[in-house]
Structure 1
Amino acid sequence: MKLPHQSDCRYLAWTGMETDLIFKAGIDLPGFASFPLLQDPKMRRVIESYAREQIQLAARHGLGCVLESATWMANLDRAASLGYDASNLVDINRDAIALLADVREQSGAPKVLISANIGPRDDAYAPSDIMSAEDAEHYHTAQIESLVGTAVDMLSAYTFSNSPEAIGFVRSGRKAGFPSVVAFTVETDGRLPTGQTIDAAISVVDAATDEGAAYFMVNCAHPDHFSDTLTGNSRLAGIVVNASRCSHAELNEATQLDEGDPSELGEQIAALVADFPSIRVIGGCCGTDMRHLEEMASRVGGMT
């Protein structure tokens, strides 16, 4: 199956499950980790329900669908504090993909891709120890190699804050035989937490990997934070946005969910797609739910 940047349609993605579970369902997620829920039959059904609803919503509007696995925190460092070791994580990562594969098969819908969601080693918003590209390649290999032989269509590095870690991720994905996607997070000024511009980060990663990433995205930021900084870079093919205009620091301290305005967010996404046709993936991150996705999909689905 073609990846979104190669396809004749756009794709819908969603990485807002964790905030929806915490603030709306009242479910505790220590460390913001959703992968432990896979061990609870009741919560597995909730995750399956989210995936089915996303597939159905995308199909109604003629969009493809990218299902993200619940593995953003399922790497060695971030899972260790929750009591998981390397052997646990192999099974968890594989199980997360198997769950989505079952949902996809049951849906019978065309153009549904399964993405293994890979998170950063350190705090995405305030990285304290930026690895070298070589160290990052070695670090992410453990999680990525656990996915070999599963139904994964692509690897997606979400909320990456710096180019060296992205380089290592892409190199590791290539060695394992997977297409890799890098989603950089940006601050309210449209720059990565390191101060690098989106275009500069893409150029550095491409130069170091011989354009090894399938494409790049921006995620976990409101359109107001980065729309004025976009230049039409053809390598930027996705925007997965927050509902809130708050900064990352403000969101980390929030005790209530800022859902923003779903209709306004849908309009902003449609405007960006109109201005930058190379954007093939749209979707929601923190604070978004199916209402936000509906507003985006209903506006973008009919666009050429």
Structure 2
Amino acid sequence: MSAIDALTSSDRAVWLTDGGLETTLIFHDGLDLPDFAAFTLLDSDHGRDALERYYRSYIAIARRHGTGLVLETPTWRASADWGRRLGYDEAALQAVNASSVAMLRVMRAVEPAPATPILISGNVGPRRDGYVADALMSADEAEAYHAAQIRTLHDSSVDLITALTITTVDEAIGIVRAAVRAGAPVVISFTVELDGTLPSGQRLVDAITELDAATDSAAAYVMVNCAHPDHLAAALAPSHPALVRLRGLRANASRRSHAELDEAEDLDDGDPAELASLYAGLLEALPDLVVVGGCCGTDSRHIEAIAERCAPLARGRSGAGGQRSV
């Protein structure tokens, strides 16, 4: 069974992800992450231990609730431009991307399968700011930029590639093309503003439609991350055919805008129970939603609450509706 088939099989009605990796490490663990770059922690025993503790907490949640789990490598910033800012050349970036996958593969190997099925996703971030659609790239430029990281992650045996916090459809198109060229299954996760539009100003449903048209629907599915559920709700055009492609959500705990989050010196971790309730509502509204987790401000408390509310609901939905298809 392929990774994508596993994500949509009827016996695992919902798959969890982890929460807000970077905000957890910064605000809860007191670690310094220049440029929000968690991959730098792989260079030290102390940093690697912090990453492993973080991931183990989510493996435990998935085990308790009988769900699948998608773990993202800590490589959101491990591409050429960001790496160069942090003193990593091409060889060093290749090594750290490969090392991140190896770490998660070792952690997965000690889990009893299939009791806690775990998929390892190679995490690709935007070339520039994840909140602002500035200095726009063409799809060809995006493909050329992201190709090296995607190829390294795929060659390191990730189960899929997930591009998180993507602000423009052209960058999404380039990432999908690079993944297809590498032979890797790929997921695109857009981010949206308070009004439900991408930072580029495009409606989410229009971005999904344009992405699929330009890539022959090559992305396995589409997600939204780094936005509160209320912001996603604003993007849900009733009965729009593109919404069948929306299979995942990694929401922020906070209702703050991207601009407010960018300037904040405190952590707005919201209310885990309320967030879980909002997820449950979206699970009802979006029958194809199967991957649920967190982004900025969320931690294991939020994912535990989401699992408690959504895992039973999703099992009931899956039992009534049968197996989903991609």
TM-score when normalising by structure 2: 0.91
Match of 2:84 among 75, 80, 84: 80
1:266 to 2:268 alignment:
no
Q: Is the 8 A contact 1:21 1:27 kept in 2?
A: yes
Alignment of 1:282 onto 2:288: no
Corresponding position of 1:254: 264
Corresponding residue number in structure 1 for 2:70:
66
Write the distance in 1 (CA, Å) between the matches of 2:45 and 2:55. 16
Once residues 67 and 273 of structure 1 are traced to their aligned partners in structure 2, the CA distance between those partners, rounded to angstroms, is: 21
RMSD of aligned residue pairs (Cα, Å): 1.2
Gaps of 5+ in 2: 318-326
* Structure 2 letter corresponding to 1:202: I
Match of 1:84, as an amino acid? Y
Q: Does 1:237 align with 2:247?
A: yes
1: CA distance, partners of 2:112 / 2:53: 15
Distance 2:171 2:9 in 1: 28
Among 210, 220, 244, the residue aligned to 1:204: 210
CA distances 1:132-188 after superposition (whole Å, capped 9, x unpaired): 111111111011111243230000000000000000000100111110000000011
1:223 equivalent in alignment to 2:267: no
Moved more, 253-262 or 143-152: 143-152
> CA offsets per residue over residues 191-236 of structure 1, 9 Å max, x none?
1001111110001010000000000000000011121322451100
* Partner Cα distance (2:305, 2:84) in 1: 38
Asked if 1:161 is matched to 2:171, the reply is: no
Match of 2:39 among 28, 35, 42: 35
Runs of 4+ in 1 over 3 A off after TM superposition: none
* Structure 1 residue 5, shift from structure 2 partner: 4.7
Q: 1:52–1:107: 8 Å Cα contact kept in structure 2?
A: no
CA deviation digits over 1:13-41, x for unaligned, max 9? 12401101111111111111000100111
Q: TM-score, normalised by structure 1?
A: 0.97
Compare 247-256 and 3-12 and name the one that shifted more: 3-12
Q: Distance in 1 between matches of 2:249 and 2:113?
A: 23
Q: CA contact under 8 A between 1:62 and 1:302: conserved in structure 2?
A: no
1:53-92 superposed Cα distances (whole Å, 9 cap, x missing partner): 2112012212110000000000000111111111110001
Corresponding pairs, count: 304
Aligned partners of 2:284, 2:232: CA distance in 1, in Å? 16
CA deviations 1:247-281 (Å, max 9, x no partner) are 11111111111010000000000111012110010
8 Å Cα contact 1:59/1:109 also seen in 2? no
Provide the C-alpha distance between the structure 2 equivalents of 1:197 and 1:7, rounded to a whole number of angstroms.
30
**Higher mean C-alpha displacement, 181-190 vs 231-240:** 231-240
Which structure 1 residue ranges, 5 or more long, are not aligned?
Answer: none
| Correspondence for 2:219 | 213
* Residue 133 (structure 1) aligned with residue 143 (structure 2): no
